[in-house]
Amino acid sequence: MNNAAQPRVSVILPTHNRPELLREALDSVFDQTCSDWEVMIVDDASTPAVTLGPQDPRVHIIRHAHAQGGAAAKNTGIEHATGEFLAYLDDDDCYQPHYLERALDVLDHHSELDVVFMGVTWFGSNGVWGQQNYDEAMQKFQAAAGGRMSGTLTVFGEGVIPALLKSVPMALQRPVVRRSALDRIGTYRPDCLLWDCDWAIAAALNSRTALLSEQLYRQRAAGQGYSSKRDRTVEQLQSGIDIKDRLWQQSRAGQHQQYREIFHRAAADAWFDLAWHYHRQGSRLQAIQALFQSARRHLGPAHLKLFTRLTLPTFFSKLKS
In single-letter form, the type of residue at position 63 comes to R
- Read off the DSSP letter of residue 223: S
Residue 157 burial by CB count (10 A; 0-12/13-18/19+): exposed, middle or buried?
A: middle
CA–CA separation, 251 and 246 (whole Å)? 9
Q: What digits encode the pLDDT tens for the residues 136-193?
A: 999 999 999 999 999 999 999 999 999 999 999 999 999 999 999 999 999 999 999 9
Query: What's the total number of domains in the chain?
Result: 2
Comparing CA positions, the residue from 295, 292, 286, 288 lying closest to residue 309 is 288
Q: Flag whether pLDDT at 2 surpasses 50.
A: no
pLDDT of residue 107: 98
Cα dihedral 93, 22, 192, 268, rounded to 10, equals: 20
Taking alpha carbons only, the member of 312, 264, 273 closest to residue 291 is: 273
4 occurs within a structural domain: no
Torsion from C-alpha of 207, 212, 213, 215, nearest 10 degrees: -120
In contact, 26 and 45? CB cutoff 8 Å: no
pLDDT value at residue 10: 98
For the segment 249-263, what is each residue's pLDDT rounded down to a tens digit?
999 999 999 999 999
* Cα gap 129→259, rounded to integer Å: 35
Task: State the CATH number of the domain containing residue 94.
Answer: 3.90.550.10
Supply the range of the domain harboring residue 288: 233-320
Residues 172, 225: Cα–Cα separation, whole Å: 18
User: What radius of gyration do the chain's Cα atoms show?
Assistant: 22
**Backbone phi, then psi, for 291, in 5-degree steps?**
-65, -40
State the distance between the two ends of the chain, measured CA to CA, in whole angstroms: 84
With a CB cutoff of 8 Å and minimum separation 6, the contacts of 228 are none
Q: Based on the domain organization, do 296 and 158 belong to the same domain?
A: no
151 plus 243 within the same structural domain: no
Domain-terminating residue out of 193, 228, 263? 228
